[in-house]
Structure 1
């Protein structure tokens, strides 16, 4: 049974981490489930907003399960663990739907990187953030030094990665990494999701594309996606397709 569940309730999809015995530490199967759920969400037009939650109150996500990668060779670690995990997190970050992480407890290492892959974050007062990889002799591998450095000031990321300091929810809010602090982050995230349903889904999708392109998040693909969307609405596109299917020369109007 998967330790990452997808619940779709009308226009709101909830991705739930459920590996409490290991504080939701991420395994290969969990990464595979997360990727599959992202693909299903993208294929479900009725879904408008995505909320990422955790089942256990003890931790949002304690990071990557060391038992999954501890025995890998250097090349396997880089290829099968870091690159694969990075690809899955990128898949989450690049969903066309708005995403909210409900961080109800500690988010360390890969857990912090997972929260950073969402568009906004709601944190519990007691939740803390950390990059503890150096404690076990490794470095962040799922965008902790890349995407996270676009969301937090570089000195703050250095505090966590180089000095092992934790970031409190209050400080995360002051720095803009957290959108809100709530005693029940899941309920607060779902409330934000509900209120977002009055917005145009097409507008928010294009907003996300433009913001990500400006920030360098998959900018090449996003530029082509925006251009393709624009050309798909043209008369020339319709004429070109019709002419091809009718085996005749197209007569383009430029409209």
Structure 2
């Protein structure tokens, strides 16, 4: 049974639905999230994406310990850590704007999931944390990498080294959270509604530009921008036509 649901629409919703485990990630959930991300990227009707979770005491408690506790060290590194990275990278690099709706605590992989979104809206009582050291491991899905580009280094150290939690208000003050709201879903929907009045192409390209500057998959972002420019050129049209007609191209230079 799926534990990550895709609700389609102009503003689509990715919903974690594993409340018995506080929406903690299992391997199947990672696979489902990856599949949904591919579907969203391929759907031109989608303007934006909200990342939400089924009601529970936590937005996402991280990774289901029972899913990784028995793995051999090589399997833990080769599959669990790298698979999670690949899936969260897929979410981070969606061509659509994304908003994490943090209605409860987001710890470990849950915090890393929110960091893979473009912006975040958070309930006032929710908390953020990196509790991995309390179970003898370290953050594995970019909690010491992507998160460090979004949160000051000392704050990441507070969470990862000392186990301190980050409150919603402090997260807003340091810029990690865009808004703190009693109803974070309604607040996120209000923000996302503005996408109906913006150019989908412009927001996509703006996201690529920002990611290239920030170091989020810089090589792919730069080549995507260059590819888009050349794909619209008369030279590209002539090159493709000449190849199909088995003749030498006569490039117009525009």
Could you state the TM-score of these two structures normalised by the residue count of structure 2? 0.99
Q: Secondary structure at the match of 1:29?
A: helix
Map 1:129-168; keep pairs closer than 5 Å. Answer: 129-168=128-167
**Segments ≥4 residues shifted beyond 4 Å:** none
* 1:5 correspondence with 2:8: no
Q: Secondary structure at the match of 2:236?
A: helix
Whole-Å separation in 2 of the counterparts to 1:76 and 1:29? 16
Q: Provide the C-alpha distance between the structure 2 equivalents of 1:195 and 1:48, rounded to a whole number of angstroms.
A: 10
Q: Measure how far apart 1:162 and its partner are.
A: 0.6
CA shift, 1:232, in A, is: 0.5
Whether contact under 8 Å (2:41, 2:94) holds in the other structure is yes
Distance 2:76 2:229 in 1: 41
**What secondary structure does 1:5 align onto?**
strand
Shift of residue 125, structure 1, vs aligned partner: 0.3
SS of the aligned residue for 2:100 comes to strand
Q: CA RMSD in A?
A: 0.6
- Cα shift readout 1:211-232 (whole Å, capped 9, x = no counterpart): 0011111011111111000001
- Following superposition, the deviation at residue 195 of structure 1 comes to 1.3
Q: For 1:100-139, what aligned pairs fall within 5 Å after superposition? A: 100-139=99-138
Any conservation in 1 of the 2:101–2:184 contact (CA below 8 Å)?
A: yes
Per the alignment, residue 34 of structure 1 pairs with 33
Matching residue of 2:232: 233
Preserved contact between residue 23 and residue 56 of structure 2 (Cα < 8 Å): no
Q: Which stretch has the larger CA shift, 191-200 or 102-111? A: 191-200
- How far off is 1:57 after superposition? 3.8
* 1:249 aligned partner: 248
Using the alignment, how far apart are the partners of 1:142 and 1:156 within structure 2? 17
User: What residue ranges of structure 2 are gaps of 5+ in the alignment?
Assistant: none
What displacement does 1:124 show? Answer: 0.1
State the distance in 2 between where 1:78 and 1:124 align: 33
